[in-house]
Structure 1
Amino acid sequence: MKILLSGLKIFGRFRPGKGVFIVDNTPFFVRDATLGGEIEVVERDGCLWYRSIVGGV
């Protein structure tokens, strides 16, 4: 599933029961989101947009 983070596409897997996504990749310059970290998203204009970090690895 594609998630937009400041207009950049990252990929993640939905974690059932928690309503969050697990990050599968990040651009090298992103410091807050980590591989395997959990993020909350919001749907807007048919896209999922990053909202906040829920947990990290």
Structure 2
Amino acid sequence: MQKLKKEIEKKIADLRKHSESSADVAQGMLDVLNNCSSTTVQDYKDYLDDIEGSLAIWK
């Protein structure tokens, strides 16, 4: 799970290069996932896919 979190953080940093506000929203969602006791590995995988989709739109 830590590897997924690091990958998401890296993608958020990439997103920040294109849109500060989108990156802020993405970071907020990651914070929610990190603070929720019922978050699963699949939740992080799904969120990583979402971030990658956002990056594809901006690129």
TM-score range, shorter chain: under 0.3
Larger of the two Rg values belongs to structure = 2
More contact order relative to length (CA 8 Å, sep ≥ 6): 2
Return the structure number with greater helix share.
2
Q: Normalising by the residue count of structure 1, what TM-score does the alignment of the two structures yield?
A: 0.26
Q: Normalising by the residue count of structure 2, what TM-score does the alignment of the two structures yield?
A: 0.26
